[in-house]
A and B are shown apart, each in its own frame.
Chain A
Amino acid sequence: MSGRAASILASRRDELNARFARKGRAIDPSAMQRYLARTAIPIVDAWTTNGADALLVALFDLGLLGLPSGLVGATEPTPFEAALVRGAPTLGAHLDDLPARTLRVLGNGFAKLARELGEAAALRWLDGIVAIAPGCDGHEALLEVGIVGAWQAGLAEARDVALDHLAKLAPATRRQLFAEGEPSREPARRFCRPGALAPSLGPLHVVAALGGFVGFGGPFTAPPRARAVGDRLFATDGVATVELHADVHGARWTPAAWAHADAHAMGDDASITTSSDGRVAVGPLELVDETLRGANGAAAAAGMVAVTLVDSHKVFVLGRTEAP
C-alpha cells in the first residue's frame, strides 16, 4: 500500500488500532480492512488538501459505526459507500471543514430515508445533496438542503419544515433544488407541481391511499375514520391514531398518539358529504370514483381530504393539482 492514505495510516497506526479495539469489538477485522481498501483509502488518496488526515479518521469511524448497522458492507460496497466514493470530490470543502460531522449527517440521513422510503429514494437524496453541496455556504446550509431534499424524496411530513429551510437558502441553491420554480406554501396548492403557473386548480381526485391493516404493515385493526384536528388531518380506528401527510412529493402516515383523544372523540365532518356509491362532495367540489365505493366519512384540512370506506383499512387522500 502506498499513497497518502498509507502514510496517514502508518503515522496514526496506534491510535487507530486503539480505536478499533475500543469500538470495533463486534466487527470482523477483515471486513474493516476491506472497507478501508475499497472506500476510505481511494477517497483519501484522491484528496488534495490538508484535511486528509482528519478525513481518514472520520472515514475510519464511519467504518466502525457503519459496519454493524449495514450502512457499510462487510464484503461488498453498499450503495451508500459507492455514492460516497463518487461524490467525495464534490463534497470537497464540507469534508475538509467538518469531515466527521458531514459523514455522520450523510450516513444517518441515508439510513433514515432508506428505512422510510427505500434505498432508491435514499440514493437519489444522497446524489442530490452531493450535487448541490459545492453551492452550500457552510455546514448549516448543507443540512438545510438535506431537509428539503428529504421532502422532495417523499418524506411528506417534512413539508412545513422543508419550506422553512428552503426560504433560508441562497437563491442559486433554491434554483438548483427547484429548477422549474419554487413550491407554493399555500395548503390548497400542495399537490401542484413546484413552479406551476396556472392559478386555478383542477378537480378533486384520489392522490394516495394510506394506512392499511396492521397485519400488512399498516396501523389499523379496524376500518378507520378520518378526522381533522386543527389544521391537521388524522385517521383513527379507536385504537391507533395516525397523522396523514400528502403533497406533490409523496404521501405518508406517522403515529400521532398525541392527537388520539381528540380524534377519537370527534364525529364526522358534516360539511363533507359521502355516499356508498363512491361520491364525495366538499362544498362545490364533487368527485365520483369507483375506488371510493363504500365511502362512509371524510375530513378535510390543509388542502387535503381524507375519505374512509366502510370495509377498508385504507384511507384515501384526495387533492387538487393545478388546472391543465
Chain B
Amino acid sequence: MKQRRAQISQAPTNPRAAAAPSRFDVADLYRGPLGDDAPAPDALPLDEKLRQAYFWIVNHAIISPFYDLEYVDAPPTTFSLGAQKTRLTLPTAQSYSSYVLLPLLNLAVRRRCLLIGGPGRGKTVIATLLGLLAGYSPKEMKQGIQHGQPQMTIADLLGNPLPSTLVSAKSMEEIQIAWRRWLGMRVKIIDEYNRIPTRTQSALLTVMADDYAELYDQVFECPPAAWFLTANDDAGGGTYQVIEALRDRIDVVVNALHFNTRFLGELLDRVESGRKPEDDVPPEIVFTQAELDRMEREIRAVAFPDALLERLGFFAASFEYLEQAARTLEYQTKDTVKVAAVPFESLGVRGAAEDLGAQTFNGLSVRALTTCLVFAKALAWFRGNREVAFEDLRQILPFVLHDKLVQQKDAAFFDVAENAPFRSDLVGWIRVLFDLACKEFDRLGRGASDPVRDALDVLAQGLEGVDRASVDERLAWLDGQIREIERGGKLYGYLFDDVLALKYMHQRYSNYRAWLEGGVTSA
C-alpha cells in the first residue's frame, strides 16, 4: 500500500482540455519504490508540494487505503461483486482517497469541511495534521481545537471581557475582550460541532459565515481560514440539532470510512513505535502563510471551460423546478414551497423513476454552486492541470453537494431495486444524478447546439446599433422558441430556466424597441 503510485492523467470521458498534458513529467522518473523525491522545497510548485503532503498523509499518517476518487486513463478492469452486482473499477490513473484529499483541498481553498464518522476514525487527527501543515505547532493546535460539549457557552467559544475593564468601563467601547486565540488562526477546528448548544452555534455561525466575532459591541476580525468540523452523526443530530444556517455554511462533507482490518499491521507499527503522525510532519511539506495565500490565488485562476459550465448548469437546473409550487412560472420552485412551509409530501411529487428533480426536496443555492466551482478548480489544480476537466467536476460534486441536495427518499427512483441503496449512499447517488444529467445533456445535443445560449451571447454583445428590423426578428425568434417548448408539453428543469431566460431576453428587446420608437423605457 505504501508504494502505491500512479500517473496523473485525464479521464477518457473528459472533454478536450485546451492545454494538453506535458509529454513527460520529470517527477515520474524519480518516483518509485524508494519514495518520492523532488527538487528543493522552495523550488517546488505549490501543487506539487500539496501532492507531496497528500502522499505523506496517506503513506505515513492516516491509514486510508481507499481510492474512491477514481481516475482512469485507459479502459479499466471492472468486476461485479456480491448479490447486488456492485461494480468495482480498478482505476488506471492516479486516484485518491476522498477522506484525505478533500480536507487537503479545503485547506488550500480555505472553505469549511465537515468530517463525519464514528468515534476513533481519525477525524480530529487529520484536521490537526492540516493545522500542522499550515505551520502551527502541535501545542498551538491542541490549544486551538474547540471541543463541542453541551455546556459550551459563547464566552467559552469567543472569549471573556477583562474583569478590570468590565468594572471600570463607562461605556461598552471601553470594555476590553480577551479573545480566544483560535479566532486568529488560519486553520480552525471545531470538534463534535453537533454537541454545541444552539445559542453558541449562532455565535459560531457569525464567525464561520462572516469572519468576525462580536462580544460587548467589540468586534474581532478573523483572518481567512480553513475550517474543519467533525461530527459523529451524519444527520447533524448529536446532543443538539445543528441549526440549518450553520449546516448550510459547510462547503464539503467527507465520510470517514471504516478501518480495513488488512492494515492492522500498520496500526501495530504505530503502537510499537510509540510515535504519532503529528510528531513526524516533514518540514518540507509545511506551508508558509504566503504559500497558502498564493495557493488559493492559483486555484482561483484555474480555467473552467464554457462547455463544462453548460453541463453543470444543465445538471443544477434539474432540481429547482416544481410545477405544483405555484401558478406563476417564476415561483414554480421548491423554494416557494419551503418558504411557505407547505409539507413537500403533501404535493405528492414522486416523479417517474428517471426524473431527477423529483429526487430532491430542494434546488442548488448560489452558495452550493459557488462551492462546486471552487472545489472543481482545486481538484484540477491539485492534479497539476490549469483547466477543470469533466472528471474533476464529476468526482468532486458528491462531496460538495452531500449536505446541499436533500434527498426525497420516497421518490419513485428509489423504488427501483438497484437504486434503493442510494437512499443511504449519498455520494453514489449524487454521482449517479450527475451521470444521468450528462446522459440527457448529450442525448439532447446541448453541447453541440444550444440556441438559448447563442441568443444570450448575441444579447451580451449589446444592443447599440441594432436596428428595428433586427429587433423584430429576434423577438419573433424568441416567441418561436417559447412556442416550441410549449408544444413539447412537459416542462423540465432545464426548460424552466430556458423559458425564463427567453422571457428575460424578450423583455430586454421589447424595452429596446420601445426606446427606438421614442419611448422612455430603458433597454
Contact = CB atoms under 8 A, between A and B. Distances in A.
B267 to A, nearest CB: 12
A259 B22 contact: no
B21 interface: yes
Nearest to B272: A21
A256 B433 CA distance: 28
B219 interface: no
B462 interface: no
Given A140-B40, A147-B29, A257-B72, A108 B9 contact: no
A25 B14 contact: no
A219 B93 CA distance: 16
Given A25-B269, A260-B12, A108 B30 contact: yes
A4 interface: no
B82 interface: no
A21 to B, nearest CB: 6
Contact of A112 (B32, B72, B265, B272): B32
Q: Which size bracket describes the interface of B in this complex?
A: 35 or more
B3 A69 contact: yes
B20 A257 contact: no
B73 A105 contact: no
Contacts of A109: 29-30, 32
A15 B22 CA distance: 42
Contact of A160 (B9, B23, B265, B269): B23
Nearest to B270: A22
Interface centre among B11, B21, B24 (most CB of A within 10 A): B24
A158 B72 CA distance: 22
A200 to B, nearest CB: 28
A292 B239 CA distance: 76
A230 interface: yes
B35 interface: yes
Interface of B: 3, 9-12, 14-17, 20-24, 26, 28-37, 39-40, 43, 72-75, 92-93, 265, 269, 272-273
Nearest to A263: B16
A143 interface: yes
Contacts of B30: 104-105, 108-109, 112, 143, 146
A140 B43 CA distance: 10
Contacts of B34: 62, 65-66, 69, 71, 103-104, 107-108, 111
Given A155-B29, A160-B24, 18 more contacts: A21-B272, A21-B273, A22-B272, A62-B34, A69-B32, A108-B31, A108-B37, A112-B29, A112-B32, A146-B29, A157-B23, A157-B24, A159-B23, A161-B22, A232-B23, A255-B73, A257-B72, A258-B9
B29 A140 contact: no
A125 to B, nearest CB: 10
A239 B22 CA distance: 22
A104 B37 contact: yes
Nearest to A111: B32
A161 B23 contact: yes
Contact of A258 (B14, B24, B36, B39): B14
Contacts of A261: 12, 14-16
Given A112-B28, A157-B23, A257-B11, A65 B37 contact: no
3 closest cross-chain pairs (CB), A and B: A108-B32, A69-B33, A258-B10
A157 to B, nearest CB: 5
A147 B273 contact: no
Contact of A105 (B3, B28, B37, B272): B37
A258 B29 contact: no
Nearest to A260: B12
Contacts of B40: 139-140
Contacts of A158: 23-24, 29
The residue in B16, B37, B74 that gathers the most chain A C-beta atoms within 10 A of its C-beta is B37
Interface in A1-56: 18, 21-22, 25
A68 interface: yes
Interface string A135-147: 0000110010011
A170 B491 CA distance: 69
Contacts of B29: 108-109, 112-113, 146-147, 150, 155, 158
Interface string A148-170: 00100001011111100100000
A66 B269 CA distance: 19
B14 A245 contact: no
B33 A258 contact: no
A256 B21 CA distance: 9
